[in-house]
Structure 1
Amino acid sequence: MDPVRTAALALAGLLTLTTPAAAAPDAAPRLPAPTGSHAVGVTSLHLKDASRRDPWVPAATSRELMVSVWYPAAGTRGRHRAPYVTPKESELLIKDAGLPGVAPGTLSKVRTNAFTDAVPAGRRHGLPLVVLSPGLGSPRSSLTGLAEDLASRGNVVVGIEHTYESAATAFPDGRVTTCVACGNKAPDFGERVVRSRAADVSFVLDQLTGAKPKWRGAALIDRTRIGMAGQSVGGASSVAAMVRDERIRAGANLDGTTFAPIPERGLSRPFLFLGSPEMHGPGGKDGSWARDWKKLTGWKRWLVVTGAEHASFTDVPLLAEQIGLDLGFSMTGARSLEITRACVAAFFTRHLTGKPQPLLDEPSARYPEVTVGGQVRSLGQRSPR
């Protein structure tokens, strides 16, 4: 089976095999508080690219996207906490994962830390922008814990819902689309999906930083400091997006097989590989990182998180535990999210603000699970600083 589909189906299959444990009947799942000093606001945007047909549904003559924008907020008084997903999205996501013992609306009750349409804070052209892209089949909300943390640290963060690539995407007019791409069996599917996502990213950047931006706080964005990170195929899309769009100054791949190889000319902008031992540790299943490592000619790091699984770089393990599902992971969801937040924040802090980050350069007593990837050492190469 194509590895991108394997990654997309792995979590659903894993959850199907588990049984809900006893959970507190009135306790809604919640995300941990962000670690930065800023309150966090969030808003949703419906964007339409009339220049492209949808790559998965040819009858759709425009590519429509839902995105969430998280940002530092001036205050949250009088604002409501943002929903994690809508009730209908929750129902479809739980159905897709094969969880008959979990109430359909459970995910819509997750307590987030961002407040809907709070007033943006910051100085004009003063905030870096970070794009987040989720795994195949997953909604943009699956990276909310990371997004809220980055926003609390003074970044604008845009999470892209790649339409027909998520099990559930709700639009303002009541439409809810599902994952048409998940059933695609074409041999070039991996390359197609990352190239399509790269086009989505460029379009969203145009909408946020162009002459007539779609978000009221767009003037806060520093267009010279843009980064991107993604999990699974979203991480692979970070590579494709950087190759396509030079506005993206730094990129991170969270445990994703890269399907569209880096061109022979190489990629000289900073890049972070952050992966699980099974996929990207010594002897890991995925060889694409070793191939790409040779073509990364700028600052680069390859980090492996001991105890992490493919889904550990998302909110999934944390929420599954609170719902009462045993995924069989050796690392708790709270710890994996803490490490993901720390590593990704350190990377963007270093490369979008220029502040040194020891976590990326030397062993950390606070995060002993984070080690340099064994395949990097085997290549006999040191990362440029």
Structure 2
Amino acid sequence: MSFKDVIDGESGGLSRRTVTTSAVLATAALLSGAGAGGAAQARPTGRGDVMTVELPAPTGPHRIGVTTLHLVDRTRRDPWKAGIPVREVMVTVWYPARGGRARPVAHQMTARAARSFGQTAPRMRPGLPPKGVDWAATLTHAHIGAPAQRAPRPALLYSPGGGDPRTLGTGLAEELASHGFVVVSIDHPGDASEVVFPRPAAYRGRLRQTVFRGDPRMDPRQFHTAIATRIADTRFVLDRLEALAAGHNPDAERRPLPEGLPELLDLERVGVYGHSAGGTTAAQTLYEDRRLAAAVNLEGFLDEAPSGPDRPGDLLPVARHGTDRPLLLLNTDGFTERAALERSWSSLMTHSHGRASRARLDDAAHWVFTDYAAVLPQLCAAGLMSAEARVRLIGAVDPACSVPAVRGRVRAFFARHLPTH
């Protein structure tokens, strides 16, 4: 399976393949053997009936390094909590590394974040198991603080879905880094289900949980605040990357940077991608910030939240006026709000004069663009969640198909518009 190109809101029939048959077969072989993808095997942790899930292995030729940065914007107040005079953001940087094999492999989540995620995720995404998973045990494929490669590489910013932490985009970030991109995954505190800071932050705690108690799109004011804050966060992170590339350490604690990381960043080649509210963020930030050369929107609305059943929200500027730089729209046939999405996406396509393209993944649902695509089938196989819940969240598509399809389409888009060499 691959994406189907969409023209005027309808499937364009069989599309050119974004993942070749040989690549799909190779990925599937990895999945069944080394726990490398959608068919990865869950394993016990040695703690009774608690299990560990595994993430897909990246397919690129480069070893991956990883580091985290705590960034503080002193020009903005926090929008979600009164009395916080600054805006604090946590990011993870995934990058092509040289050496570093002896360095420890990073976990997907810290122990504190994993405990919070285990409690919050089942409430935010009904059907996820409230117990039985050791979320802190899942390993990535990246080595902490490994020396960076010497050749300058394009950078990609990632904004996750509303209420989701940046860690749920680990598989795609690692895939892109293994093919030569520097990927910067952004948490949006107050929005993300949980954000853990390296020290007590301005609001007097290391762990900050989401303020959302439901779908923020059901509250027009909250949705507007979320998107505006995400755009400002993304542009601020790009500002701090410019400081990093200039030789400064932007980390609030001044923790040592991986060797060679500043020289690795080529900020003449920068893109942005995101899922759901992060896709909204990616598209509108592309429109607002000329430093960005290309963007991918993974099933994000391009309008404000509706103010009533028959009162659709205003189109965002990117949808009203279109884009003059490459923008890829990817969606699923199982998204329950496809009709509402279509209004803003069609407007953008009409006004972009060929600079925007779109494609659809069938037998899939909204969270297939996240690590849930590989994780939920493992939970189903272990009897920790129902098949109905899995289909509602990621669709019925086999992850041995969906994982390489999503990776392949996003990777090919950025490789075309932001070549790594």
TM-score, normalization by structure 2: 0.73
**Cα distance in 1 between the residues matched to 2:272 and 2:213:** 23
2:239 aligned partner, one-letter code: D
1:310 aligns with 2:361: no
The equivalent residue for 2:307 is: none
The equivalent residue for 2:17 is: none
**Cα distance in 1 between the residues matched to 2:342 and 2:144:** 39
Size of the aligned set, in residue pairs, is 331
Contact 2:157–2:271 (CA under 8 A) maintained in structure 1:
yes
Q: For residues 269-302 of structure 1, what are the alpha-carbon distances to aligned partners after superposition, in whole Å with 9 as ceiling and x for unaligned?
A: 0000011013399867642211222232352211
Q: For residues 16-58 of structure 1, what are the alpha-carbon distances to aligned partners after superposition, in whole Å with 9 as ceiling and x for unaligned?
A: xxxxxx9653463211211110000100000000000011113
Residue 141 of structure 2, aligned match among 104, 108, 113: 113
Q: For residues 328-356 of structure 1, what are the alpha-carbon distances to aligned partners after superposition, in whole Å with 9 as ceiling and x for unaligned?
A: 3311334322111101000000001199x
1:100 CA displacement: 5.6
**Cα distance in 1 between the residues matched to 2:72 and 2:317:** 29
Higher relative contact order structure (alpha carbons within 8 Å, sequence separation ≥ 6): 2
Q: For residues 121-173 of structure 1, what are the alpha-carbon distances to aligned partners after superposition, in whole Å with 9 as ceiling and x for unaligned?
A: 132xx200000110011110111000000000001000000111111111111
Contact 1:127–1:154 (CA under 8 A) maintained in structure 2:
yes
2:189 aligned partner, one-letter code: T
Distance 1:128 1:285, change over 3 A: closer
Distance 1:282 1:316, change over 3 A: closer
1:338 aligns with 2:404: yes
Residue 85 of structure 1, aligned match among 109, 114, 120: 109
**Cα distance in 1 between the residues matched to 2:338 and 2:120:** 33
Q: CA RMSD in A?
A: 2.4
Secondary structure at 1:130's aligned position in 2?
strand
**Cα distance in 2 between the residues matched to 1:83 and 1:346:** 27
1:177 aligns with 2:208: yes
Distance 1:259 1:23, change over 3 A: same
Residue 62 of structure 2, aligned match among 23, 38, 58: 38
1:213 CA displacement: 4.8
TM-score, normalization by structure 1: 0.80
**Cα distance in 1 between the residues matched to 2:211 and 2:352:** 33
Contact 2:56–2:374 (CA under 8 A) maintained in structure 1:
no
Residue 234 of structure 2, aligned match among 190, 201, 205: 201
Distance 1:155 1:100, change over 3 A: closer
Contact 2:153–2:182 (CA under 8 A) maintained in structure 1:
yes
2:118 aligned partner, one-letter code: I
The equivalent residue for 1:68 is: 92
1:206-355 matches, cutoff 5 A: 206-210=239-243, 211=246, 212-214=248-250, 217-259=261-303, 261-262=316-317, 264-279=320-335, 286-323=342-379, 324=382, 325=385, 326=387, 327-328=390-391, 329-353=395-419
1:60 CA displacement: 1.1
**Cα distance in 1 between the residues matched to 2:221 and 2:286:** 20
1:102 aligns with 2:103: no
Contact 1:72–1:122 (CA under 8 A) maintained in structure 2:
no
Q: For residues 304-347 of structure 1, what are the alpha-carbon distances to aligned partners after superposition, in whole Å with 9 as ceiling and x for unaligned?
A: 00111000000013112223334133113343221111010000
1:190 CA displacement: 2.7
Contact 2:330–2:359 (CA under 8 A) maintained in structure 1:
yes
**Cα distance in 2 between the residues matched to 1:242 and 1:182:** 29
Distance 1:54 1:33, change over 3 A: same
The equivalent residue for 2:35 is: none
**Identity within the alignment, %:** 35
